Structures are given as C-alpha cells and as structure tokens.
C-alpha cells in the first residue's frame, strides 16, 4: 500500500532561517506528490506539487523536488517568516493499483517561526 513518512517535529526556527522538512514515501504505481499547509483553525491549502520524477514544485519561496531514486519530496525554504508558522503535510496520490485517487498523508510537521 501507499504510505508517507515525514519528520514529525515540532520544528522551531528563527525568522530568516533555512527550513527543511523531510518526506519519504512508498507507493504502488507512479505517484503525484504534494505539500499542503494548514494554518491554525483553517483547512488545507495546496502549497506545491510535482507529478513526475525530477519535477520541482515551487510556491511562495517553498520548493520540493520529486526524487524517484530516493523516494523523497523534501520541502525547503531559504528564509522563513513568522507568517509561515503552520502545520505542513506531505501527501501522495496514485492513479492505479486500487488507490482510487485518494490522498495519503504524512502525519504533519508543526513549524513555529519566532521573530
């Protein structure tokens, strides 16, 4: 079956620090990979995605590269801001092997950025 493993945190950083949140996956078929962000009291927002190997997703200064050889999709940002404080979820979706298109989530990583 499909699974996603991400560093659980919490992660606490100072403003302008470099961020990495690790994410690895196992999947049947060829997954698309996603990072979602959940701000306090809100729903999930799609942050970025990559649909095939070596694709790089990017948005709002965040980046992640789909690495098939290491089955990874690590999230990075060069300089975090206080407003980036949220819970980040790595997720995958396959279109075959009985997955029925549903997203499989990691357990989320709480990021707190201090001024």
- Contact residues: other proteins, CB under 8 A: 30-32, 34, 36, 38, 42-46, 49, 51, 87, 89, 93-95, 100-105, 107-108, 110
**Rounded least distance, CB 88 to other proteins, Å:** 10
**Rounded least distance, CB 55 to other proteins, Å:** 11
- Specify the residue, 8 or 15, whose C-beta has the smaller distance to other proteins: 8
**Rounded least distance, CB 62 to other proteins, Å:** 14
Evaluate the CA torsion angle 62, 66, 69, 72 in order and state its sign: positive
- Specify the residue, 37 or 80, whose C-beta has the smaller distance to other proteins: 37
Element (H, E) at 6: strand 3-6
Chain center to CA of 23: 7
Chain center to CA of 10: 15
What is the rounded CA–CA span in Å between residue 61 and residue 73?
Answer: 16
What is the rounded CA–CA span in Å between residue 45 and residue 52?
Answer: 21
- Residue 68 · residue 24 · CB < 8 Å: no
- Specify the residue, 51 or 83, whose C-beta has the smaller distance to other proteins: 51
**Rounded least distance, CB 40 to other proteins, Å:** 12
- Specify the residue, 19 or 86, whose C-beta has the smaller distance to other proteins: 86
């Amino acid at each position: 079956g499909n699974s996603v493993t991400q560093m659980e945190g919490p992660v606490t950083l100072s403003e302008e620090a470099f961020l990495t949140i690790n994410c690895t996956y196992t999947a049947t078929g060829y997954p698309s990979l996603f990072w979602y962000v959940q701000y306090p009291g809100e729903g999930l927002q799609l942050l970025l995605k990559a649909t095939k190997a070596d694709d790089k997703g990017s948005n709002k200064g965040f980046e992640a590269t789909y690495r098939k050889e290491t089955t990874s999709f690590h999230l990075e940002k060069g300089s975090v801001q206080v407003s980036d404080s949220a819970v980040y979820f790595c997720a995958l979706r396959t279109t075959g092997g009985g997955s029925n298109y549903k997203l499989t989530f990691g357990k989320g990583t709480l990021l707190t950025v201090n001024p």
